[in-house]
Structure 1
Amino acid sequence: MPSSPSSTARVGRLALLVVALCWLAVLFDGLDMFIYGSVLPHMLAERALGITPDQAGDLGSYATFGMLIGALTAGTVADRIGRKKLMVGCVALFSLASGLCAIANGIAVFGLGRTLAGIGLGGLLPTAISMVSDYAPRGRGALTIGLLMTAHHTGGILSAYVALWVVEPLGWRAAFWVCVAPLLFVPVLAKFLPESLGFLLAKGRTEEAHALARRYAVELPPAKPDDGAPAPSRWASLAHLFRGGEWIQTLLYWIASFGGLLLVYGVATWLPTLMRGEGYELGSALTFVVLFNLGGIVGMLIAGRAADRFGAPRISAIWFALTAVGVFLLSVRMPLALTFTVVFLTGVFLNSAQTMIYATVSIRSAPQSRATAVGWTSGMGRFGAVFGPWLGGQLLAANKGDWGFTAFALAGLSSMVFIGLAAWRGARRPAGDGAGRALIGAH
């Protein structure tokens, strides 16, 4: 029986509520993630906490290491306590951790704050993606997730303005105090965000699910048919990725993801500092952060459509090649307007190139191991996210900051080669699954 207009309107309002709350949470996630890179030029100029370039790289890696822990444990924790509680806890954690950074009296305490913030950041994004997927209108899942991902880059844009408007008159600590403000959002999230109906049903909490459905006047998700076949275990699904010659393709995906996230987080952390090293004023360097993230928003909105038409593997390889060209060009002194254009286009390609790796893995993997394949590809890539900020710091410490863009460009070229090889080996499987559905968090 088709839904009535009033029922459809209620479902739409509920989806809008969930997406809006998750979008704001991910906005704060992006602000907290990018704020360190935005204020880093100030911290280095002032020798805040006695920080040196190599230590700055280490501190940047602490947050990404925390994100690795958060991302790998989010699913297990959410299965135990629920997605809503985990989201609320993650927002509270990275907000309080920013307060620890603001009052830090040494590098050790500051590093602890960034690590704890990273755990919250890493746990929030996949949980928010799962939440909006549950409540997305039918046939609009990819669009909804793509919209959610724009919040992360909007947070990056906001971080540049916080650094520009707050740090100059009040100092770098004020920027981290701004990142404590999302604590005010925690009660709102706790009160108005509904728990996932799918989670409640999966945990056998049917009475709560029915009560929630009655409250919002929506239908419960249909029960999945049980064909009697046991679901493969996590380790069985992982073993499937290494059977026969599959291990070669699996490793190629992992290496490509490593290079992609090295590039994403290396550039995100060091872009303002490297641009200042190229002779640009601080205001221009922070404008680059804004343009880079604007490009990320545009890229997220067009990547899935391009991949649906031309194939995710092809788009991923081309996007990484264009990213490498753009990143390398940033090491060349150009007219300011041209540099702005290059930064914007680099943001378009860089941020969605990694997403297309996940799309490729999703399309080329067998159904019974698809979730495991994407999860482990993302997890292995997180090691690149840890390595990228560290690498930038080591180059600056060795007075080779001008090599930073070259090193990141080489990472983009390597990902282009490895995702191309992996896709070529997996070409025997038809790519008809639709890349848009794999827009599940390039970060």
Structure 2
Amino acid sequence: MPPSPATASRSLLGRLDESEFTARHLRIYVTVLIGHFLCGFVINLTGVILPGVIKTFHLTSEAAGAFSSALFAGMLVGAAVAGTVSDRFGRKVPLAITVMVYAVFSLAAVFAPSFGTLVTFRALQGIGLGAEIAVVLPYIAEFVPSRHRGPLVTAATAAWLIGLPTAAAVGTAVVPAFGWRAMFVIATVPVVVGVFMLATLPESVRYLLRRGRTQAAEVVVGALCRGTTAPAQHAGPEPLAESGTLRTLVARNYVRYTIAIWFMEVCAGAFLYGLSSWLPSVLEKQGVDLLKSFGYTAIITAAGVVGALLAGQLINRIGRRVVLGGAFVLSGLFCLAWGTTAATAAVVILGSLATFFGSGLAGSTLFAYASELYPTASRATGLGWAAAWQKVGGLIMPVLVGFVLALHASQFLFFLLFGVISILAGIAALVATFETRGRTVEQITREIAGEEAASALTPARS
């Protein structure tokens, strides 16, 4: 007698979660990692090209802030929409399309004849960039073995963060010789990665099971997890639920955690994007040579990469709540200290510590947490809305900093803004985070829903 759909799903999910990390896992992971790195590179072009754009189009500080925010407005839309699309239509095709979208508008930006046209292309590019973030992390969380989920999601965030110092380093070599438009030429490379994704990536097993496509899921698991068997106690499939619905995120059992995630993401976005957009210009105003300011920015932001790489090990050992709360608070305190000095060594050291804890430990842990908190039916929607709120911070902060600088206010105010928002995010993390350490994504769903609801779970049908 063939196994029931629920038994088959439980077996496949058990094999997926308990598998060793195979060569096939690695090939898939490296492919999506390259796309995510390029996403970070393209987003973080702003700080590198902004001085050149200001000179080319004779921009005021307010207009320059608006240019930075246009990207995040597009990313907000892309993140919010793509999560819902991915939950309803799968992970693979939406992920590949998002990568190709931001590459195509990079090419369009190369030939932008006016500032208004450049802003428009950057906003449209932002839709693809925001959408990529909303899809790629749930995809990783759903196909890697459970014990590797935290480290691999945070490592993906580290790859994204590497895009920032890489953009600064490439800009140092390219912009003086070829101008700021050359950076957009480089940013067309992701179209190749998008095509490769379409040709090689498998669909998410959890998505296939929710659509009742058990045979397709068996093929994927067989290729990924040869020789593994399901543990008898595996939690099994999640409940049948409407895919990609915002109602799940604000339902009674989730609303507290959702509000906390959204608030932390606003603060994290304000910190990351406000700093990356304006730091070279602020250093230049302090008397640092433009090329040196690119170099210092690369060093400072590279510290965030180190923090993201360490985050995966820390969250598996001490949990998401402690890492989030402690890292955000420490980042805020280092920002306050950073604003009190103009000495080069102190600026680099304090800036590196602030980004190590803020963009690195806290920022990467926050995305890992958001990618595993919600049920499969709404996982990309949850991550998409979290990313969208991050872009709200990225939308507000560059404009706010632009106005602050236009008022010729004290440089300390610039760093005070970043310090306060980081400390507030840390408080939110400590009081309203659901600890997900050591649990499969199905176990997380059951614990939040409650055991009574869990007893009635059945596999989804197409």
Check whether TM > 0.5.
Answer: yes
Q: Tell me how far 1:337 sits from its aligned partner.
A: 2.9
Equivalent-residue separation in structure 1 for 2:236 and 2:337 (angstroms): 54
- After superposition, give the CA deviation of every residue in 1:248-267 in whole Å (9 maximum; x if it has no partner): x7655543432232112111
Indicate whether 1:165 and 2:173 are aligned.
Answer: yes
When residues 56 and 434 of structure 1 are mapped into structure 2, their CA distance, relative to the original with a 3 A threshold, is farther
Equivalent-residue separation in structure 2 for 1:269 and 1:177 (angstroms): 20
Match of 1:398 among 402, 407, 412: 407
Q: Tell me how far 1:22 sits from its aligned partner.
A: 0.5
Q: Which amino acid aligns with 2:393?
A: G
Match of 2:149 among 134, 141, 150: 141
Indicate whether 1:412 and 2:425 are aligned.
Answer: no
Mapping for residues 105-254 of structure 1, pairs under 5 Å: 105-206=113-214, 208-210=216-218, 212=220, 218=226, 225=236, 231=241, 234=245, 236-241=247-252, 251=259, 254=262
Q: Tell me how far 1:354 sits from its aligned partner.
A: 3.8
- After superposition, give the CA deviation of every residue in 1:264-317 in whole Å (9 maximum; x if it has no partner): 211121111111112212222112332233211211122344455555444433
Corresponding residue number in structure 2 for 1:440: none
Q: Tell me how far 1:127 sits from its aligned partner.
A: 1.7
Indicate whether 1:387 and 2:396 are aligned.
Answer: yes
Instruction: Specify the SS of the correspondent of 1:266.
Output: helix
Q: Which amino acid aligns with 2:395?
A: V
Equivalent-residue separation in structure 1 for 2:292 and 2:229 (angstroms): 50
Corresponding residue number in structure 2 for 1:18: 28
Corresponding residue number in structure 2 for 1:288: 296
Equivalent-residue separation in structure 2 for 1:338 and 1:174 (angstroms): 33
Q: Taking CA–CA contacts closer than 8 Å with sequence separation of 6 or more, which of the two structures ends up with the larger relative contact order?
A: 2
Mapping for residues 240-279 of structure 1, pairs under 5 Å: 240-241=251-252, 251=259, 254-279=262-287
Q: Tell me how far 1:81 sits from its aligned partner.
A: 4.0
Equivalent-residue separation in structure 1 for 2:218 and 2:327 (angstroms): 45
Equivalent-residue separation in structure 2 for 1:435 and 1:56 (angstroms): 45
- After superposition, give the CA deviation of every residue in 1:120-166 in whole Å (9 maximum; x if it has no partner): 11111232222223332352121221221221012112101221111
* Paired residues of 2:44 and 2:276 also in contact (CA < 8 A): yes
Equivalent-residue separation in structure 2 for 1:368 and 1:120 (angstroms): 22
Equivalent-residue separation in structure 2 for 1:210 and 1:308 (angstroms): 29
TM-score (norm 2): 0.78
* Paired residues of 1:277 and 1:401 also in contact (CA < 8 A): no
When residues 360 and 70 of structure 1 are mapped into structure 2, their CA distance, relative to the original with a 3 A threshold, is closer
Q: Tell me how far 1:41 sits from its aligned partner.
A: 2.2
Q: Percent identity?
A: 23
Instruction: Specify the SS of the correspondent of 1:140.
Output: helix
Q: Tell me how far 1:217 sits from its aligned partner.
A: 7.9
Equivalent-residue separation in structure 1 for 2:29 and 2:316 (angstroms): 24
Q: Which amino acid aligns with 1:255?
A: F
Q: Tell me how far 1:360 sits from its aligned partner.
A: 7.5
Corresponding residue number in structure 1 for 2:46: 36
When residues 236 and 118 of structure 1 are mapped into structure 2, their CA distance, relative to the original with a 3 A threshold, is closer
Match of 1:100 among 90, 103, 108: 108
When residues 329 and 304 of structure 1 are mapped into structure 2, their CA distance, relative to the original with a 3 A threshold, is same
Gapped regions of structure 2 (runs ≥ 5): 1-10, 442-462
Mapping for residues 364-383 of structure 1, pairs under 5 Å: 378-383=387-392
Corresponding residue number in structure 2 for 1:52: 60
When residues 323 and 81 of structure 1 are mapped into structure 2, their CA distance, relative to the original with a 3 A threshold, is same
When residues 396 and 219 of structure 1 are mapped into structure 2, their CA distance, relative to the original with a 3 A threshold, is farther
Q: Which amino acid aligns with 2:43?
A: M
Q: Tell me how far 1:16 sits from its aligned partner.
A: 0.6
How many pairs align? 419
When residues 80 and 258 of structure 1 are mapped into structure 2, their CA distance, relative to the original with a 3 A threshold, is closer
Q: Which amino acid aligns with 2:93?
A: K
TM-score (norm 1): 0.81
Corresponding residue number in structure 2 for 1:347: 355
- After superposition, give the CA deviation of every residue in 1:50-78 in whole Å (9 maximum; x if it has no partner): 32221111121111122111211222222
Q: Which amino acid aligns with 1:279?
A: G
When residues 141 and 285 of structure 1 are mapped into structure 2, their CA distance, relative to the original with a 3 A threshold, is same
Report which stretch shifted further, 157-166 or 349-358. Answer: 349-358
Equivalent-residue separation in structure 2 for 1:213 and 1:436 (angstroms): 17
Gapped regions of structure 1 (runs ≥ 5): 438-443
When residues 348 and 370 of structure 1 are mapped into structure 2, their CA distance, relative to the original with a 3 A threshold, is farther
Corresponding residue number in structure 1 for 2:83: 75
Report which stretch shifted further, 157-166 or 23-32. Answer: 157-166
